[in-house]
Amino acid sequence: MPSPLVRIFKSVKNAPERWLVSGVAGFIGSNILEALLENKQKVIGIDNFATGHRSNLEDVKNKVGDKAWANFDFIEGDICNQEICLEASKDVDVILHQAALGSVPRSIEDPLASNKANVEGTLNIFFAARQNKVSRVVYASSSSVYGDSEVLPKVENQTGLPLSPYAVTKAANELYGRVFADLYGMTLIGLRYFNVFGPRQDPEGPYAAVIPRWINLLLSGKECEIYGDGKTSRDFCFVENAVQANVLAALKNDLNQGHYVFNVACSKQTTLLELYAIIREAVSRYRTDIKGAEPLFCDFRRGDIRHSLASIDLISQILSYQPLSDLNSAIQKTVDWFAAKHQ
Q: What is the mean pLDDT of the chain?
A: 92
**Structural domain includes residue 333:** no
Q: Which domain holds residue 28?
A: 13-197+237-266+312-324
* 211 domain residue, yes or no: no
Confidence at residue 205, expressed as pLDDT on a 0 to 100 scale: 67
Nearest CA-CA partner of 41 in 78, 85, 86, 9: 9
Q: Is the pLDDT of residue 312 over 70?
A: yes
Is residue 176 flagged as an active site residue?
no
Determine the pLDDT at residue 307.
87
Residue 297 within any structural domain of the chain: no
Integer CA distances (angstroms), 325 to 65, 118, 268, 333, in order: 26, 29, 12, 10
Catalytic residue among 166, 176, 260, 276: 166
Instruction: Kindly report the CATH number assigned to the domain that includes residue 85.
Output: 3.40.50.720
244 pLDDT tier (thresholds 50, 70, 90): very high
Give the amino acid at 56. Answer: N
Confirm whether 215 is domain-assigned: no
Q: Look at 306 and 5; give whichever has higher pLDDT.
A: 306
The answer to whether residue 255 is domain-embedded is yes
pLDDT digits (tens, 9 = 90+) for 251-288: 988 888 999 999 999 999 999 999 999 999 999 999 98
| Any domain includes 320 | yes
pLDDT greater than 90 at residue 180: yes
Query: Is the pLDDT assigned to residue 7 strictly greater than 90?
Result: no
Residue 307 is assigned to a structural domain of this protein: no
What is the β-pairing status of strands 187-193 and 258-264? parallel
Q: How many domains does the chain have?
A: 1
Q: What percent of the chain has pLDDT over 70?
A: 94
Query: Distance of alpha carbon 151 from its chain centroid, rounded?
Result: 23
Give the start-end residues of each E strand in the chain.
18-22, 42-47, 72-76, 94-97, 136-142, 187-193, 196-197, 225-227, 233-234, 237-238, 258-264, 270-271, 296-298
- Residue 100 near residue 23 (C-beta atoms within 8 A): yes
Please check whether residue 7 lies inside any domain of the structure: no
CA separation for the pair 139, 126 (Å, rounded): 10
pLDDT of 12 > 70? The answer is no
Q: Are 15 and 42 in contact (CB under 8 A)?
A: no
